[in-house]
Amino acid sequence: MNRHTVRGVLATLLLCAAGSLNAQNYPAGPVRFLVPFPAGGGIDTMGRILGQKLSEAIGKPVIVENRAGANGLLGSRFVARAPKDGYTLLVNGVNFVTAPVLFKNAEFDPLKDFDPVSLLALAPNILVVHPSLPVKNVREFIALARAKPGEVLFAGSDSGSTPHLAGELFKTLTHTKMVHVPYRGTGPAITAILSGEVSTMFMPALTALPLIQSGRVRALGVTTFERLPALPDLPTVSESGLKGYQSSQWYGLLAPAGTPPDILNFLNGHAAKIMQTPDMKERMKNSGSVAVGSTREAFAKHLQIEFTKWAKVIKASGATVD
């Protein structure tokens, strides 16, 4: 063994020893949750709720920082390049796997540049229609869309948003020609369906619940495989005539790739435990979400499935951004 090889081996051993020591002392100071979107949204809210609970559990501050821009790309890039020490983590959602497909200059790979920590919660969309649309269920809606190609307009909060892609997936599976109408945010999209400017939206459950209860929109189906606890009598789209359809926002915790396994396991154990507490389950239920708190392996599998599915949908829809 030559001197260069010996030096290389020694350097590797020293790095491993340093990583092990850092993991044993973790966390020695504040942990930062980076949210790649403005304050006030669902991902931001999830990060702040989890951050408060995690801070209480580990006895160290958890600071939530918003670094918005480019559909979540700026914040995700920042975390991908952060030190691999467990002190800078990413809280993100489905945009994490869709933005790198939509944007040609993403500069990170969601499956290679991050280590999954835990899938925190699922937030279904609800297929809703304006009350004037003469349909009462998913089967009738599909029949109408097929009978009137190009006439059924569905609202989305900008191209590539979860409501948009949920509609594109629906179009692909039903072989219909609904037309996506993009709006600058969820608020304007909701205004459009309430006014009758468009007839349909795959609306976030949190927003949809009060509108459904007041009769301002009609709910046809939940976009996840499981029914929504807040609306137990509302069937899923999958069980209503479109078997296999599944689309939802989700919230997850991630670390830069190469973070020591001991730190990842520490974070996963706490995050999963927090999400499974009765208090957190109730908070998620009241917000139209479902608490999960998965293993690292289950979240990695979820990311792979989501990336593959949405890449196909985006390609089919042509919704890319330079």
Q: Where in the chain is the domain with CATH 3.40.190.150?
A: 29-123+248-317
On average, the pLDDT of the chain sits at 90
Q: What are the distances in angstroms from CA 14 to CA 7, 33, 40, 272?
A: 10, 29, 43, 32
Domain spanning 29-123+248-317: CATH 2.60.40.420 = no
CATH architecture of 128-240: 3-Layer(aba) Sandwich (3.40)
Average pLDDT over residues 136-144: 97
Model confidence at 71, pLDDT cuts 50, 70, 90, reads confident
| Residue percentage of the chain with pLDDT more than 90 | 69
Rounded Cα distance, 203 and 194, in Å: 12
Are β-strands 31-35 and 62-66 bridged in parallel, bridged antiparallel, or unpaired?
A: parallel
Q: Where in the chain is the domain with CATH 3.40.190.10?
A: 128-240
Rounded Cα distance, 240 and 233, in Å: 12
| Residue percentage of the chain with pLDDT more than 70 | 91
The pLDDT of residue 319 is: 66
Model confidence at 191, pLDDT cuts 50, 70, 90, reads very high
The pLDDT of residue 288 is: 82
Q: In which residue are the tokens 């995700």 written?
A: 76
Average pLDDT over residues 171-190: 90
Rounded Cα distance, 155 and 171, in Å: 13
CA 294 to chain centre: 14
Average pLDDT over residues 87-97: 95
**For the purposes of burial, counting CB atoms within 10 Å of the CB of 315, is it exposed (0-12), middle (13-18) or buried (19 or more)?**
exposed
Model confidence at 39, pLDDT cuts 50, 70, 90, reads confident
Model confidence at 285, pLDDT cuts 50, 70, 90, reads confident
Rounded Cα distance, 319 and 137, in Å: 28
The pLDDT of residue 322 is: 54
Rounded Cα distance, 45 and 49, in Å: 6
Are β-strands 114-129 and 200-204 bridged in parallel, bridged antiparallel, or unpaired?
A: antiparallel
**For the purposes of burial, counting CB atoms within 10 Å of the CB of 225, is it exposed (0-12), middle (13-18) or buried (19 or more)?**
middle
Angle at 117 between CA 44 and CA 69, to 5 degrees: 35
Q: Is the pTM of this model over 0.85?
A: no
Model confidence at 23, pLDDT cuts 50, 70, 90, reads low
Model confidence at 21, pLDDT cuts 50, 70, 90, reads very low
